Amino acid sequence: MARITASVYTSHVPAIGAAIDQGKTGEAYWQPLFKGYDFSKQWLETNKPDVVFLVYNDHATAFSLELIPTFAIGTAAQYNPADEGWGPRPVPKVIGHPELASHIAQSVIQDDFDLTIVNRMDVDHGLTVPLSLMCGQPGEWPFKVIPFAVNVVQYPVPSGRRCYNLGKAIRKAVESFDEDLNVQIWGTGGMSHQLQGARAGLINRDWDNQWLDKLIDDPEAAAGTPHIDYVRESGSEGIELVMWLIARGAMADVDGGPKPTVKHRFYHVPASNTAVGHVILENNR
Ligand code: DHB
Ligand code: FE
């Protein structure tokens, strides 16, 4: 049986990818940010998953205003890093897990979440920057990845509650897969940021950290956060945080299991326009 052993949460700022790709991680501006991931890289070495179910958002790269799936699951065998305007990032291609992805699609759709099936797409910084933060610069990514794209760009975007409940359905799907697989679920994007308009550059440390407290200790309350709170308190792109609730909803305590262990928590401002949040939770069953 496949199992979700841990969830990882991290922001996904494109400039972080550029800093890694251009060898700037040791610069004074970036050093404190990357230091926050030293533990995580080591942790991942000793807790190497077979598959990461990676919840992220596409930034008008694979999709556009012409086609806006609310939830899209990647069932392909591989995905190429996207060209977002400066050429594709020099990172390995992403190897999928079509069998597990198809199984999850089957199970979750029968559980009344209507997913879009994606058999071909390129993956942008939303997916590749979290991989780089957690894995560094390997010749190939050390596990398979199921990309799961969420629309947080064009309203109406899904509610936090919907995302949280979807996470529960994903855990059930993973646990009904026959093969013994160690699966992690990653929720990415956030935290405070607003990239345009009069409030561009907005950062709200207090709100971000209170939300992290809730995510960890009272995920029901985090799931109940209305859209307007994210946008008012953490800026227009702060809404990316609803994606973390998919990962949190897939943890065992949500359905009466034991509380997860907080292995790591990190918060840093700024990275480009964004407050970076990062948490690792380990399941205890
Ligand atoms: C930035 C952050 C993002 O999440 C994003 O998708 C694009 C840009 C930024 O802070 O620059
Ligand atoms: Fe983003």
Residue nearest atom 1 of ligand 1, based on CA coordinates:
13
- The residue annotated as part of the active site, out of 125, 264, 268, 278, is 125
**Count of positions (residues) in the chain:** 285
Domain that holds residue 123: 3-282
Question: Measured from the CA of 274, which atom of ligand 1 is nearest?
Answer: 10
pLDDT of 285 strictly over 90: no
- The residue annotated as part of the active site, out of 59, 103, 193, 264, is 193
On average, the pLDDT of the chain sits at 98
pLDDT of 113 strictly over 80: yes
- Specify the CATH number for the domain of residue 153: 3.40.830.10
Q: Are 159 and 70 in contact (CB under 8 A)?
A: no
Percent of the chain residues past pLDDT 90, beyond the cut: 100
* pLDDT per residue as tens digits for the range 45-66: 999 999 999 999 999 999 999 9
**DSSP secondary-structure letter at 83?**
B
Alpha helices, DSSP H, located in the chain: 14-21, 31-35, 38-46, 98-110, 125-135, 160-175, 205-217, 219-223, 227-234, 242-249
Mutate to test the pocket of ligand 1, among 124, 195, 199 (most ligand atoms within 8 A of CB): 195
User: Is the overall model pTM greater than 0.95, yes or no?
Assistant: yes
Among candidate residues 71, 66, 128, 120, the one with its CA nearest the CA of residue 98 = 120
Query: What is the distance in A from the centroid of ligand 1 to the CA of 178?
Result: 38
264: part of which helix (H) or strand (E)? strand 261-271
193 in active site = yes
- Our count of domains for the chain comes to 1
Among candidate residues 65, 97, 81, 39, the one with its CA nearest the CA of residue 266 = 39
